[in-house]
Chains A and B, each alone.
Chain A
Amino acid sequence: DTGVSQDPRHKITKRGQNVTFRCDPISEHNRLYWYRQTLGQGPEFLTYFQNEAQLEKSRLLSDRFSAERPKGSFSTLEIQRTEQGDSAMYLCASSYEGHYGYTFGSGTRLTVV
């Protein structure tokens, strides 16, 4: 197991386009989290899944954002009609429950031009 994988590492898109990111968690982990991080700030929670169920969504997750975790394995985060304010690092993490700490992926850097 090589840890949490995120793809792509970088994405540059024009405003108004849709983008989709993928996260592959550690296989034994039942929880998967998405965070967003802007320059100089700590990561901010977006949403999390326990197995395939999406249990919590932050108010930061507007209607343009949607996340899925089919079959409780990998997850995708889609942003529709991207805006310049969506430019950020999108981080994925997984854990076995939450008591044992999170393992983060390397992130996807999104730049909206």
Chain B
Amino acid sequence: KQEVTQIPAALSVPEGENLVLNCSFTDSAIYNLQWFRQDPGKGLTSLLLIQSSQREQTSGRLNASLDKSSGRSTLYIAASQPGDSATYLCAVWNNDMRFGAGTRLTVKP
């Protein structure tokens, strides 16, 4: 059974810092990995989708990498802003999508 773990569970940083969120998964036989953002009480917003044949994807200040063989992905956020405060969820897909518990990010002005 696929297990997805996200570290840290919570992170607080001052505005402007670069930061890395980590995701690990136990079964490397995945088709893709997706990073989502979730604001309190809201649904999930897709940030980046990495197909299994890809190593990374970039969107603006976000960069996500994927190392299937080691079962790891990282989400890099450059020059963090208070508006980045949210929970970030990692999910892997192999016939169904399995989620980690998320990293709750707080960016202080």
List residues of A whose CB falls within 8 A of some B CB: 6, 33, 40-45, 48, 56, 89, 91, 93, 98-107, 109
Contacts and interface: CB of A to CB of B under 8 A. Distances in A.
Identify the interface centre among A6, A102, A109: most chain B CB within 10 Å of its CB: A102
Given A42-B4, A91-B43, A109-B41, A98 B101 contact: no
Nearest to A58: B96
A18 to B, nearest CB: 24
B36 A104 contact: yes
Interface in B73-109: 89, 91, 93, 95-102
Contacts of B46: 101-104
Nearest to B97: A102
Contact of B43 (A99, A100, A107): A107
B97 A33 contact: yes
A41 to B, nearest CB: 5
A104 B71 CA distance: 25
Nearest to A92: B43
Contact of B44 (A48, A56, A99, A104): A104
Contacts of B100: 42
B65 interface: no
A78 B88 CA distance: 29
B49 A98 contact: no
Nearest to B98: A45
B34 interface: yes
7 contacts: A91-B44, A93-B44, A98-B31, A98-B95, A98-B96, A102-B34, A102-B46
B91 to A, nearest CB: 8
